[in-house]
Amino acid sequence: MSNKWIGALSLLLCGQLVASELVIESWRTDDKVLWEQKIIPAFEAAHPGIQVKFNGVQNVDYMPTLLTSLKDGKAGDLITCRPFDDSLALFKAGHLAELTEMSGMENFPSFAQSPWQTDSGAQTFCVPMASVIHGFFYNKKIFSELGLTIPQTRDGFFAALDKVKADGRYVPLAMSGAESWVSSELGFQNIGPNYWKGEDGRLALIGGQERLDNPQYVKVLEELARWRPYLGEGGENRDYATTNELFTSGKAAFYVAGSWEIAPFTGKVDFGVMRPPVAKQGDGCFFTDHTDIGMGMNPASKNKEAAMAFLQWLTTPQFAELYTNSLPGFFSLSNHFFDVTNPAAKEMMEWRDQCDSTIRVATQILSRGKPKLGDELAEVSQAVLLGKMAPQAAADRLEQGLKGWYPPHQGNKAKGQDCQCEAPAVPATVVPAVSTTEAQVAPAPSATPATEVPVEPASSAVPATTEEPAVLAPSAATPAVTEDAPTAPIPSITPVMPASAAAAPLPAPSAEIEQALSEELEAPQQ
């Protein structure tokens, strides 16, 4: 969709819209009642003549089902967008309209827009809606009984776990050992930002200045290994649903948490929230504030004017407050100020004023090749948690896999940066495990690529905010946008660009993109 068309369409919205029915495609089936009883009625009240229907598809089936519907011309008008590569691939395939110059996008800071932009930040294709935050929940009743205070440091955290374990009545740490995504997202990517210093470390990993076998990443895995004795009886085989029940029934002191559980847990147990602990008191803090959900428009929609009206409504203070307070634990990504009513959600959102936000380290760019870093990270994190793989062996496997397809990690080894790595050594009982499928190291690319893709400067219209973490500029090349192994490096990320900025993706034949999409989306997602 051309920018001129977007501008003209925005003007049309000021006039009378004909009666239209919009269909929203979403994986958030848990929110169906919320959309039907609160969000959609609020929009329809402000936009007479437009009716909206919510079409939910189970999470694990969403992307494959959506792709089939888009190909067959049966998809809805509005597409709920996952962050980064899934939605980028849909945009490249022509299944998401460009929204770069849509009125209202200026209400979102650059870090919020970046998951739904091309790598250069030149094109935007989804409106940011909400993020989720990683941390810990704790049982207030148990804390009172045992005289515990909220730990700020790692030593304090493990001292609290030891006290709960010694008491013997409660499980110290409720966590699923049976589901690998928990070990990765709620384990490694929960505590990790304090080790690799948030966005600075994440972008250095993308740029090749840091490696997954550097000390800060090994130390994260070492801490994860220390959690095992606190999981309680049967923790290794406990699934996610059972873990939730363990905590909400009052049988566990701590719970490794995603903010999406605030709403389901509220009213079942009296709990508080805790930031991931730092090495020592006074250290700067970092936490995962992951851009989780956005919304775009199907270019094949027959109700483009109405769909654009809905997207623009998503940029308003009314929607930001309504969504955040109706669904505690999903936090608006806009710059609007409003009061958060749920106490736990309010406290988590306040972490943005106290610490620096970052996103999941394996999400942007680094899972585009094979082996996919996100999948590898889940597998080895679980193995480390369960004592089946030593932390160093796990880190070596992660880096070896990335080296096999990602040019910035090929060649000379990067020097590890300083990190908050003051943590006791991992127990000697952990036995190293050797991967049976180690990726081969590909030869390093030439220092000077044959062609470089020019980098477009970021728009100055995006407002700066105090919530946006500081960004170090990686100097090494980053890969071209592709679902398979990249064939050429692209220019570096710079501080003046959005957090996801690298270079605009090269055009690819539609058939090639559709094939890559099909291959990528065959596997279920968490």
Domain edges within the chain:
3-130+291-338
Q: Give ∠ CA 216-199-396 in degrees, rounded to 5.
A: 35
d(CA 84, CA 382): 24
Looking at residue 418, its pLDDT comes to 52
- Range 3-130+291-338: architecture per CATH: 3-Layer(aba) Sandwich (3.40)
d(CA 524, CA 526): 7
Are the CB atoms for 236 and 257 separated by under 8 Å?
no
Looking at residue 417, its pLDDT comes to 53
* 73-112 as b/e: b if 16+ CB within 10 A: eebbbbbbbbbbbbbbbbbbbebbbbbbbbbbbebbbbbb
Looking at residue 190, its pLDDT comes to 98
Looking at residue 98, its pLDDT comes to 98
Looking at residue 160, its pLDDT comes to 98
Total length of the chain: 526
Task: Tell the residue number behind the tokens 């999406």, with chain if given.
Answer: 260
Looking at residue 126, its pLDDT comes to 98
Which residues, given as ranges, of the chain have pLDDT below 50? 1-2, 4-17, 421, 423-510, 512-513, 516, 520-526
Would you state the structure tokens that stand for residue 163, as one six-digit string? 């006290």
Looking at residue 428, its pLDDT comes to 35
DSSP symbols for 392-455: HHHHHHHHHHHHTT-GGGSSSPPPPPP-----PPPPTTPPP---SSPPPPPPPPPSS-S--PPP
Backbone angles phi, psi at 89, to 5 degrees: -65, -40
Peptide bond into 371 cis (omega under 30): yes
Looking at residue 109, its pLDDT comes to 86
d(CA 153, CA 280): 5
